[in-house]
A = this chain, B = another copy of it.
């Protein structure tokens, strides 16, 4: 019964063989932060080039806002965009070009019972509209960095101002 409820409320869908289906409408999910690793600052080739737009599914976000934790079923999205220019009327910096990569992580006891934090990591390729399904990545490909460096439950919350603001609000600080 719990499994059925999970399936009804998680934004993640899987094939019978365990591949993740590409989430629909994730660009209308909740944005939590952008980091940028320009190629030119990484010897010409960033590992994940270059802007990282990070989203969270709406129900997972609502749960995080209420509890400060990632519920079973949470989906995080990282979509990449290239750097198109370094100068605009607002000053010097980095300005994005086209979208160029889609990655997801899903916290699921059912799908990843043995994985750290029950997180599974998926890559849908670099060319929009991206692949329709993705196989779960071998643990060694993603988990090591997320375990070693992510601030909370394998999620890089330290880089997501929107989630930081929620924690600050819970502590009586900044809020919205």
Q: What is the interface of chain A, defined by CB distance below 8 A to chain B?
A: 26-28, 30-31, 33-38, 41-42, 46-48, 50-53, 55, 58, 61, 81, 84, 88-99, 127-130, 145, 148-149, 156, 158-162, 164-165, 168, 174-176
Contact = CB atoms under 8 A, between A and B. Distances in A.
Contact of A35 (B35, B46, B58, B95): B95
A92 B34 contact: no
Contact of A93 (B46, B97, B128, B129): B46
A18 to B, nearest CB: 23
Contacts of A156: 88
* Most B C-beta atoms less than 10 A away, residue of A27, A55, A61, A156: A27
Q: How many copies does the complex hold?
A: 2
B161 A35 contact: no
Contacts of A91: 37, 41-42, 46-48
13 contacts: A35-B90, A37-B92, A38-B93, A41-B91, A41-B92, A42-B91, A46-B90, A47-B90, A48-B90, A88-B156, A98-B161, A99-B162, A99-B174
A97 B97 CA distance: 23
Contacts of A176: 26-27, 128-130
B165 A41 contact: no
A53 B35 contact: no
Contact of A128 (B53, B96, B149, B165): B165
